[in-house]
């Protein structure tokens, strides 16, 4: 009996390896592909959603916008057409969460630098203070690469409406007036259809790691 197994041992080993490969391929084929949810206002914590849109269950998208970036260029939603992007809200004079968030955006920028499908977008919540020259100086200090990352200033009411009614990023309510202030740590992942696919705490490294993972999951959706 031992002589029989010894004679055919290489055949048995080959069959064993082939069996393992086949089982692995079957498992991969049957395993559901990871997919990110599409966030609608009705799915998000009500405290983060403007009451006028809390009932919406489908078709929610980021609204059109027209603002100015750190180079004085006009930026609209068309500049993010057919792109995956990460958005946040910040201000250059912030001394608490914003520096951490910006540093984490820089880390994301480094990871996506050679990926033409992914960009970054930061909105100033103090646009009167954050003029184009100020944004330019801040962007230069932080190492912002213009082709990957726009820092926007402009009409405050428009920015605040985007934060509350498009990105669902803040817990406060207001009218965008001089005493209205947004301060949020949220990073928002937006897909190529302008739909929200994820929310992340931009101050926490584990959340940044998850965001980077989710960007790849989202890219896999578009892979041919």
Using the predicted structure, report yes or no on whether residue 85 has a pLDDT greater than 50. yes
Those residues whose C-beta lies under 8 Å from the C-beta of residue 129, and which sit 6 or more positions away, are: 91, 92, 93
Sign of the CA dihedral 97, 98, 103, 109?
A: positive
Confidence of residue 32 (pLDDT cuts 50, 70, 90): low
Q: Which two tokens stand for residue 14?
A: 């080959």
* Cβ partners under 8 Å of residue 209, min gap 6: none
Phi, then psi, of 121 in degrees rounded to 5: -150, 120
**Could you tell me the pLDDT band of residue 52, with boundaries at 50, 70 and 90?**
confident
Per-residue model confidence (pLDDT) at position 27 = 45
CB atoms within 10 A of CB 151: 29
Average pLDDT over residues 17-33: 57
Question: Mind listing the domains of the chain with CATH numbers?
Answer: 41-222 (3.40.30.10)
CA distance 146 to 138: 12
């Amino acid at each position: 009996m031992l002589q029989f197994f010894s004679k055919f041992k290489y055949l048995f080993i080959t069959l064993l390896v082939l069996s393992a490969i086949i089982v692995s391929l079957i498992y991969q084929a049957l395993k559901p592909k990871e997919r990110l949810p599409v966030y609608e206002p009705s799915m998000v914590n009500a405290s983060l959603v403007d009451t006028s849109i809390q009932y919406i269950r489908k078709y929610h998208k980021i609204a059109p916008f027209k603002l100015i970036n750190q180079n004085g260029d006009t930026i609209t939603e068309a500049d993010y057409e057919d792109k995956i992007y990460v958005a946040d809200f910040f201000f250059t004079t912030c001394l608490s969460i914003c520096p951490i968030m910006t540093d984490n955006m820089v880390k994301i920028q480094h990871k996506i630098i050679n990926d033409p499908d992914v960009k970054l977008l930061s909105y100033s919540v103090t646009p009167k203070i954050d003029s184009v020259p100020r944004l330019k100086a801040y962007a230069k200090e932080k190492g912002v690469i213009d082709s990957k990352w726009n820092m926007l200033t402009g009409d405050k009411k428009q920015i605040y409406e985007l934060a509350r009614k498009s990105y669902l990023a803040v817990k406060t309510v207001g009218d965008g007036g001089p005493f209205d202030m947004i301060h949020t740590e949220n990073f928002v992942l937006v897909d190529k259809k302008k739909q929200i696919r994820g929310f992340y705490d931009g101050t926490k490294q584990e959340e940044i790691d998850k965001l980077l993972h989710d960007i790849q999951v989202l890219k896999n959706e578009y892979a041919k």
